[in-house]
Amino acid sequence: MKIDRRNSIYGLRDFFLKRTADIGLILIALPVLIPLFSLIAIAIKLDSKGSVFFKQKRAGIDCIPFYCYKFRTMQANADESIHKKHIKDYISGKVDIRTDVKLLNDRRVTRMGKLLRKTSLDELPQLINVVKGEMSIVGPRPLPMYEVEEFSLWHNERFLAFPGITGYWQVNGRGRVAFDDQLRMDIRYIRNWSIWLDLKLIILTIPAVIFAKGAG
């Protein structure tokens, strides 16, 4: 993917550092990732019919569309219109964030899918996107294109950075943050970005995942 760095927060040195850190961390984790991917894939196939992976068009850096990969957590051919309506309600402030901004008791989610979402393991295939240069390990959450269609002008600043598997929002609220507050967290990350902030957020992700903070 060709990126116009004039439309991003990264200078040439920053881009090199971030990319090197991403690939280095993946290589270090590879001995754990390979058997983990295999076990999850087998569990998904045993639990329900359909593909192991789910892919969806999402907005990347500079709002460039790309296909984002995840482990499939819903029944095959699940109706996407349910989530689209929920997202519109969330963005417009109609969802009660005191409970959860995610769909509760969503019957489309498989048994294995519930476990994967609770532990955030469904996000692991996004490492493929990181290797392809479409994402980073740390950055704003990659949003579906239909969410971007609901954006206000000031929201677009979040596209100055690579989307990430984890990030400021993911370790500071996840499923219980109003939409505008989520975007403010993304922009705060972008305005204060450094390689050290990325490392800090990676460390903070560990307890957030272990204790399933805001997961559903």
> What are 143-162's pLDDT values in tens digits?
999 888 888 888 889 999 99
Domain residues for the domain of 27 are: 5-210
> What band does 3 get if pLDDT is binned at 50, 70 and 90?
very low
How many residues are present in the chain?
216
Would residue 137 count as lying in a domain? yes
Q: What pTM, to 2 d.p., does this model score?
A: 0.87
> What band does 9 get if pLDDT is binned at 50, 70 and 90?
confident
For 147-154, which contacts have Cβ atoms below 8 Å and span 24 or more sequence positions? 147/59, 147/87, 147/91, 148/59, 148/63, 150/87, 150/88, 150/91, 154/183
Average pLDDT of span 64-71: 97
Would residue 216 count as lying in a domain? no
* Torsion angles phi and psi, residue 125, rounded to 5: -60, -10
Side-chain half-sphere CA neighbours of 157 within 13 A: 14
Residue 135 or residue 183, greater confidence: 135
Output the furthest CA–CA distance in the chain (Å, rounded): 47
List of E strands, 2-52: none
Would residue 215 count as lying in a domain? no
Domain count for the chain: 1
Residue 78 or residue 178, greater confidence: 178
Would residue 13 count as lying in a domain? yes
CA angle 191, 196, 198 (to 5 degrees): 70
Q: What pLDDT digit, counting tens, does each position of 83-136 carry?
A: 777 777 777 766 665 555 565 567 788 999 999 988 999 999 999 999 999 999
Would residue 90 count as lying in a domain? yes
Would residue 194 count as lying in a domain? yes
Would residue 63 count as lying in a domain? yes
The token pair that represents 73 in the structure block = 């957590």
